[in-house]
Chains A and B, each alone.
Chain A
Amino acid sequence: MTQGCGAISRRDVLKTSAAGAAIAGSLGTGSVAMAQAEPNAPPTAAVRMKVNGKQTSLTLDTRTTLLDALREHLKLTGTKKGCDHGQCGACTVIVNGRRINSCLTLAVMHEGDEVTTIEGLGTVGDLHPMQAAFVEHDGFQCGYCTPGQICSAVAVLEEIRAGIPSHVTEDIGAAPGMTTLEMRERMSGNICRCGAYSNIAEAMAQVAGVKA
């Protein structure tokens, strides 16, 4: 951002936060603890989340995405930033049991949520079955997309088991089958620049207990 832009945005914030204070006074305040350290500092807010089973408490610039909170503030750098625009899936994490793109959500919107990242799925000494299967089947080359692929893959199997239909489900009146076609379609939100797709599909099939 250029300096010129910065000047404009500070003015905007001052204008809106003054208006915000007036309205908060007349209509009752929302539930967010807002802090404004110095007049020109960008607005911050507090958020508590359970990340990989550990309670965390952060005060963040409101602009911080969940991805940046994990990587820059909690130093959980397993989750990767690819596109930062929802287009690649490298940032996939599991929030309250569901996979999402952590780049397109604000950390402050996750008060009370349970977040699982690649670091929370397994450890070097005790791999998650999906991690072990990725190793066994060479489900990666450079590895950059891999944490997102693995978080997504774990959640995909759960989604099929939960009966959530997909674009390739033939009969949407019935439960989808645990097939490689279903798994491939559901993994389309995870791009792999190295093209490890077929090996990823094999790893998933092994964990799901079906033939690749």
Chain B
Amino acid sequence: MRPFTYERATSAQDAAAKAAAMPGARFIAGGTNLLDLMKLEIETPGHLIDVNGLGMDQIVETPEGGLRIGALVRNTDLAADKRVRKDYGVLTRALVAGASGQLRNKATTAGNLLQRTRCPYFYDVNMPCNKRKPGSGCGAIGGFSRQLGVIGTSEACIATHPSDMAVAMRVLDASVETMRPDGTTRAIPIAEFHKLPGQTPQTETALEQGELIISVALPKPTGGTHIYRKVRDRASYAFALVSVAAVIGRDGKGAVALGGVAPKPWRVQEADALLPKGAQAVSDRLFAEATPREDNAFKIMLAKRTIASVIAEAKG
């Protein structure tokens, strides 16, 4: 690990201002992703700003009837919140499907959204990777791509976003609330928060230098059956090959988002509208422009079958 200086932030704006003023400064929350990558020198911040003490660890009701989740709320606490369990079950289900009990006790809402890809070539510093080292090439294209993306990818990068939580937040139409270094705030719809790689896979989110996530807001609950189904290589403590988050009403209408297949939680509005028509129609639309590789083409079939089982479960 490279040496770094460390400080505890005294306010959100102080944290954002310092992060913007110091090149190489990073926020640290739970640390479960950042420190992992720092040990491998994939991340090499020269200064860490600890945002744990800022009181951003509460879940409160919004005037609109939704919930506002503090950026520092731990994954365990978010999953266990009575209001989340009652009205946003897909979120609890996605959270408890991720990582381990120990990790969820540390992992935060903001950190989870910002965790970086698990592409094995991104992790192997001896391999080319456009995300880790822009312009160096992509080891995964033409390599072992079983875990990698089939849609939304580019010729520069085919990595997936590994978060389970983010897939549930996408289906719930969450918005990410931030503070910029000058103290102004904004809300970024989750649909626009994660960026597709294009020619710049190193740019992963809409955040600006120094911009701090303050909270994530969930709109008023919509009812319906909430399901998160994750398919992985072992029954627990493994990242998704494919996951499906869905909220489906009695009339068969609803919303569906996929994890494990794309650089961001994958949702297509026209595919939502096809839910009453069944899994084949939904899946055909979701994967209309897919560019699978030989190793990961199975994900399309796996996703379709997982969607089918989710629709069947929602029918009861």
Contact = CB atoms under 8 A, between A and B. Distances in A.
Interface stretch (A119-127, A132-140, A185-193): A185-193
B102 A189 contact: yes
The residue among B1, B79, B102, B103 with the most chain A CB atoms within 10 A of its own CB is: B102
B52 to A, nearest CB: 7
Contacts of B103: 86, 101, 104, 189
A198 B120 CA distance: 32
Contact of A16 (B28, B41, B46, B85): B46
A30 B14 CA distance: 9
Contacts of A16: 4-5, 22, 24-25, 46-47
B5 A27 contact: no
A9 B237 contact: no
Interface of A: 5, 9-10, 12-13, 15-17, 19-20, 23-24, 27-32, 34, 42-43, 45, 61-63, 65, 84-86, 89, 92, 98-101, 104-106, 108-109, 111, 152, 155-156, 159, 162-167, 169, 172-173, 185-186, 188-190
A20 B18 CA distance: 9
Contacts of B41: 5
Q: Give the residue among A12, A24, A108, A186 with the most B Cβ atoms within 10 A.
A: A12
B58 interface: no
Interface in B33-67: 35-36, 39, 41, 44, 46-48, 50, 52
A165 B3 CA distance: 39
A186 B101 contact: yes
Interface size class of B (residues with CB under 8 A): 35 or more
B5 A167 contact: no
B79 A109 contact: no
A16 B48 CA distance: 11
B106 interface: yes
Contacts of B86: 173
A97 to B, nearest CB: 10
Nearest to B4: A62
A101 B32 contact: yes
A9 B101 contact: no
B5 A84 contact: no
Interface of B: 1-10, 14, 17-18, 21-25, 28, 30-32, 35-36, 39, 41, 44, 46-48, 50, 52, 76, 79-80, 85-86, 89, 92-93, 96-97, 99-103, 105-106, 235-237
Given A16-B25, A167-B97, A172-B92, A105 B3 contact: no
Nearest to A64: B1
Contacts of A89: 100, 102
Contacts of A30: 7-10
A31 B3 contact: no
Contacts of B106: 100-101, 104-105
Given A89-B100, A99-B105, A172-B93, A189 B5 contact: no
A111 B52 CA distance: 11
Contact of A109 (B10, B44, B50, B236): B50
6 contacts: A16-B4, A16-B25, A100-B102, A109-B31, A165-B80, A189-B100
A62 B5 contact: yes
Contact of A23 (B3, B8, B9, B21): B21
B79 to A, nearest CB: 6
A13 B3 CA distance: 6
Contacts of A10: 3
Contact of A43 (B6, B35, B36, B236): B6
Task: Give the residue among B25, B50, B93, B100 with the most A Cβ atoms within 10 A.
Answer: B100
B48 A62 contact: yes
